[in-house]
A and B are shown apart, each in its own frame.
Chain A
Amino acid sequence: DAGVIQSPRHEVTEMGQEVTLRCKPISGHDYLFWYRQTMMRGLELLIYFNNNVPIDDSGMPEDRFSAKMPNASFSTLKIQPSEPRDSAVYFCASSLGQTIGNQPQHFGDGTRLSIL
C-alpha cells in the first residue's frame, strides 16, 4: 500500500521566493497534519485538518505560512515570502480515527527545505 507521499524531497531556493510543499495522504485517512522539524525545536505541529477542514492552525508561525486541503487526497503548505529561518524538514502525516492519539500517525519522508 502507498504511504504518505510528499514532494519535493529537497528544495533549495533563495529568500523571498514562494515555496509550495505538497502532500498526498493515505487513502481513507481523515486527518492530515503538517509538521516542521529542526534540531533546536524538534517536531512542531503547524496545522491539522479533519475531513479537509482546518481544525487547529495555532502552530503556523506567521502569515507567510498558509495551508490548504482542496480535497481528501491532496494538501499544500505554502511559504510566501520565504526566509532563511524557515529552513527545516517539513513532514506531512495522516491518520485514521475519530480522535487524535488513538491511531498512529503515518508520516511521509519529508521535504528538506533550505532557504539561502
Chain B
Amino acid sequence: TQLLEQSPQFLSIQEGENLTVYCNSSSVFSSLQWYRQEPGEGPVLLVTVVTGGEVKKLKRLTFQFGDARKDSSLHITAAQPGDTGLYLCAGVLVGAGNNRKLIWGLGTSLAVNP
C-alpha cells in the first residue's frame, strides 16, 4: 500500500495544453516536496511547500499544498516538450521522538509531444 498516491500514473499531451497532477494521502505531512526526474538522471527538486493552503509558482508551474497538508497538486500551463519527465512528490512524516521520514510517491510520467 502506497502512503502517497500520485495520479495519473501516465499522461501524454500536446504542446500548449494545460495539465494537473495530484499527490494524495490520508496522512498529514509537515512539508511536501516535488521533484522532476529525466531519463538517465536522478530527481531534481522543484519546490517545497510547508504551510497548509500554500501556493507556489515556478514560471508555468503552480504548486498547491492542501489545507489539511494531506495532498498536493502541480498544475502546468501551456506545457512544452521540455516539461517531459517523471514528476515525484515526497512528503515528510514526523513520528514518535521527532523521527522524520521522507515518503515518496510512485510518480507521474509526463510526455509532452511537439
Residues of A within 8 A of B (CB): 4, 41-45, 56, 91, 93, 99-102, 104-110
Contact = CB atoms under 8 A, between A and B. Distances in A.
25 contacts: A4-B42, A42-B2, A42-B105, A42-B106, A43-B43, A43-B88, A43-B104, A44-B104, A45-B104, A56-B101, A101-B31, A101-B90, A101-B92, A104-B45, A104-B48, A105-B43, A105-B102, A106-B45, A107-B41, A107-B43, A109-B41, A109-B42, A110-B40, A110-B41, A110-B42
B104 A100 contact: no
B97 to A, nearest CB: 12
Given A100-B92, A101-B30, A104-B33, A42 B104 contact: yes
B48 A42 contact: no
Contacts of B106: 41-42
Contact of A100 (B2, B42, B102, B105): B102
B78 interface: no
B57 interface: no
Nearest to A108: B42
A102 B107 contact: no
A109 B40 contact: yes
Contacts of B45: 104-106
B44 interface: yes
A105 B92 CA distance: 13
Interface string B76-110: 00000000000010101000000011101111000
B85 to A, nearest CB: 13
Kindly list the 4 A-B residue pairs having the minimum CB-CB distance in the complex, ordered from nearest.
A107-B42, A101-B92, A104-B45, A42-B106
A8 B20 CA distance: 36
